[in-house]
Each structure stands twice: as structure tokens, then as C-alpha cells.
Amino acid sequence: MAKANLFYAQSGGVTAVINASACGVIETARANGDQIGKVYAGLNGIIGALREDLIDTSKESVATIAALRHTPAGAFGSCRYKLKSVDENRAEYLRLMDVFKAHNIRYFLYNGGGDSQDTANKVSMFSIKEGFPITCIGVPKTVDNDLPITDNCPGFGSVAKYVAVSIREAGLDVASMCESSTKVFVMEVMGRHAGWIAGAAGLAAEHEGDAPHIIVFPEIAFDQKAFLNKVKDCVKRFGYCAIVVSEGAHYKDGKFLADAGGKDAFGHTQLGGVAPFLANMIKQELGYKFHWAVADYLQRAARHIASATDVEQAYAMGKAAVQFALAGKNAVMPTIVRKPGKTYRWTVGEAALSDVANIEKPMPRDFISADGFGITEKARSYFAPLIRGEDYPPYKNGLPQYARLKRVLANKKLPAWNE
């Protein structure tokens, strides 16, 4: 019988380093060619498996696979598609089995967040019941940093670095202009349910008066009066106020600030935009001239300023996932384990998918300062090592050179999938 093949898929929102995990998977599989046949990657994630759109990564050169390490976003395509439970949609699970059987796939590596780990776990259990056991290994990924057990999630460190660098730079800009012009700057960052990303921006403030002066967390109900007082105080003391706000900032009743009734030109509720909302509130109540920025995808795609620590960990997770599979493990996910001690050191751990699936890790309350607008020393100690080191992509003509894949699909052997 031919060596078993491996199926790898990217899932959910992409990051600056998810391809570094893919690189770790493919290079490690290639290095173990005596045990693993081909690595197929799902075109657009798990949808690729259902449609039998399998990218044959053996058609990609060594250099192209190596370049994945410095290429942002999902090189094989990702998707927002969650498999339902087996009871609800048994046909999907059967189809996955058919595709895996048809292509001699015995390993399934799923690179995603909590939802994806849940899916991988379900596939593992289903495959055992069906008598065609698939080794299912998760590869952690999420900019939101909300997976349990693992110390942090690949993808997060690079967003953290981007937001800290950006607010430091924009803060200097506002400081330059504040005597006669802009006094308030609001930068909106990702994080609908947890303030990990917003909190990491706080690393930029190393000295009294440094930006950011205020962080608005989704963990703390928004108190308009306290917020405006703090803005006023900052402008008085430092001449300006630089604010980082999480997209998930909300009132006590749970209503998002960004959904607070703003209308667009068509009369529809303005989607997104808590930064302009806060900026306008400040203008209205305090009269300060403002600017605002919404980084959106720029922050999670910013491979040009990725954290070297994050890149290394993303690669290590991909590599470890293959090693776990070869070691006969199943339904587990490699994790990042922070070693005790003052100097940051980490190692690869292991978590059962069932313990990871669908659990969101909130930011601890003691990461947030007593007034609710800043981070504590404890948070700083946690965040600081994750943004360390630069890992610049190669440039040509002033632009970063990212991998361009051929994405050759394997020949289909099954009837089309009826979606």
C-alpha cells in the first residue's frame, strides 16, 4: 500500500504567520517522506476537502514552500465554514471520509481557532466509528489569542507588535501637532470579545506620557463620563491624548459602541467604526480636534512587521503537529508552554482537542489597571516577549516578495459535491 497522505487546511480569519505554520507542516512532512506521502492542502480550507479541491503541494518548489514562512494571509485559501454536528449533517462527514479514502489521506491537520479544533475532534471520532481512522491534529491559530491551555496563539504576537508599533508612531505624530492642531487620536483594533490585542498596544507606553494614554477594553463596560474625564486630563497633562479602542467596546447593557445608532448616507446603521464614534463623541463633548484610524485587515496581514517570536512559534506548531501525527498521537493540538523564570523561554506542549474546542480564553481582569483604561505590570510581562524580534520578509523594488503558489489541484476521483 502507498504511504498515507496528509491533508492540511487553513480555517477562519487568516494571520501574518499562518503560512509559517503551513511551511512547518509541509517541510516536516517532506523530511519524513518515508512515512508521509503527499501533503494536500484544501483550496479555501475545509471547503476544499468537501469539493475535492485538493492542492497538491508536491508541485510547489522547495523555495516556494520556504517562502511561505514569510508570506502573510492564507496561501491555500481559508474559509468561514463550520461543520455542523454529525447528527445535523452526517453527509458532510461521510463526504470527508470519501475524499480522504479516495486520496489515501490518513492525516488531517487543521490550522485554526476553537471552532476548527472542535471540527477536527469531531472528524477524528467519526472516522474511528466509520472504521477508517484519521489522525486528526490541530494547529493553533488566531489573532484573538483566545484559545485555552496554550500560553498564546500564533498570529497574536504579530498583531500585537503591529498595534504597539503603530500607536507609538501615530502618538509621536499627534504629539508633534497638538499645540495648534490635532489633540486626540483614536485607533481601533480587532477583538470583539477579548481585549488581548488592545492590551498589547499598551506595550508602546514605556515612559510617563507615552502613547497610548487610554485603552478601551471589551472587558470593561464603557463609562462615558470616566472616559471623557480621562481624555481631558491627558490633554491637560501631556498636550494630547492617544487612544486605542477595541472593536468590541460596549456599554453596560452589552450594546456595542459601534452600533450606537450612527447612520450612513443610505440611512442604514453604520457598520463598524467605534474609532470615529469615539472621536466624534470627544469632539462633541470636549471640543478637541481629532483624527482616527481603523487598521482592520492591515493589522493581521502585516507580515512586514511580524514578531520573530511569533513566526518561530507558528512554524514550530506546524512542525510539532506532523511530529505528533507520526508519533501516533490523535485528537491533540500542540501548544506553546511558557517556562517559569525571568527570561522568556518556551517549549512545545500538547492539549486534547476536546479541551480546546469551543472554549474562549478571556483576558484576566488583573491584566487591566484599576481604572479600566490601561494595562498592569502583569499584563506587560505576559505581552512583552511575544512581540520580540523582527523577521523581515525579503524585498524587491521596495516591496515585500511573498510566495506565489501554483496551486495545482489533484485529479478528482469522485462525483461533484452537492452543496
| Residues carrying an active site annotation | 144
Q: Among 343, 397, 411, 418, which residue interacts with its own copies (rule: CB under 8 A)?
A: 397
Site stretch for its own copies (CB under 8 A), options 25-33, 59-67, 226-234, 386-394: 386-394
Question: Could you tell me the smallest distance in angstroms from the CB atom of residue 298 to its own copies?
Answer: 5
Given the DSSP bridges, would you call strands 184-189 and 54-56 parallel, antiparallel or unpaired? Answer: unpaired
Alpha carbon distance 54, 8 (integer Å) = 9
Touching its own copies, residues 264-303 (CB under 8 A): 264-266, 268, 270-273, 275-277, 279-281, 283-284, 291-298, 300-303
Report if residue 389 touches its own copies, rule: CB under 8 A: yes
Residues 188-227 that bind its own copies (CB under 8 A): 203-204, 206-207
Residues 243 and 264: their CA atoms lie apart, in Å, by: 24
Type of residue numbered 81: Y
Of the pair 263, 342, the CB lying nearest its own copies is at 263
Report the C-alpha gap between 149 and 82 in whole angstroms.
Answer: 22
Of the ranges 42-50, 132-140, 328-336, 362-370, which one interacts with its own copies (CB under 8 A)?
42-50
200 vs 374: CA distance, rounded Å = 10
114 and 360 in contact (C-beta within 8 Å)? Answer: yes
- Closer residue to its own copies (CB): 35 or 224: 224
Query: Minimal distance in Å, beta carbon 386 to its own copies?
Result: 8
Choose the stretch contacting its own copies; rule: CB under 8 A; options: 61-69, 130-138, 358-366, 396-404: 396-404
- Among residues 336, 345, 338, the alpha carbon closest in space to that of 140 is found at 336
CA distance linking residue 79 with residue 337, whole number of Å: 28
Shortest distance in whole angstroms from residue 341 CB to its own copies: 17
Q: Does 416 bind its own copies (CB under 8 A)?
A: no
Which of the residues 20 through 39 are near its own copies (CB under 8 A)?
Answer: none
Distance in Å from the first CA to the final CA of the chain: 32
∠ Cα 37 42 44 (to 5°): 165
Site for its own copies in 61-80 (CB under 8 A): 71-75, 77-80
What is the spatial distance between Cα 43 and Cα 94, in angstroms, rounded to a whole number? Answer: 19
Task: Work out whether 148 is an interface residue with its own copies (CB under 8 A).
Answer: no
Q: Could you tell me the three cell numbers for 45? A: 480550507
Residue 184 in the binding site for its own copies (CB under 8 A)? no
CB nearer its own copies, residue 340 or residue 394? 394
Whether 375 and 219 have beta carbons less than 8 Å apart is answered as no
**Pairing state of beta strands 214-216 and 241-246?**
parallel
Does residue 179 touch its own copies according to CB under 8 A? yes
156 binds its own copies (CB under 8 A): no
The residue from 17, 23, 41, 47 that contacts its own copies (CB under 8 A) is 47
For β-strands 105-112 and 332-338, DSSP reports them as: unpaired
Q: How far is the CB of 207 from its own copies (least distance, A)?
A: 8
Q: How far is the CB of 325 from its own copies (least distance, A)?
A: 24
366 touches its own copies by CB under 8 A: no
For its own copies (CB under 8 A), the number of binding residues is: 88
* Alpha helix positions (H), 15-112: 18-31, 46-50, 62-67, 90-102
In terms of CB distance, is 194 or 242 closer to its own copies? 242
Distance CA 137, CA 44 (A): 19
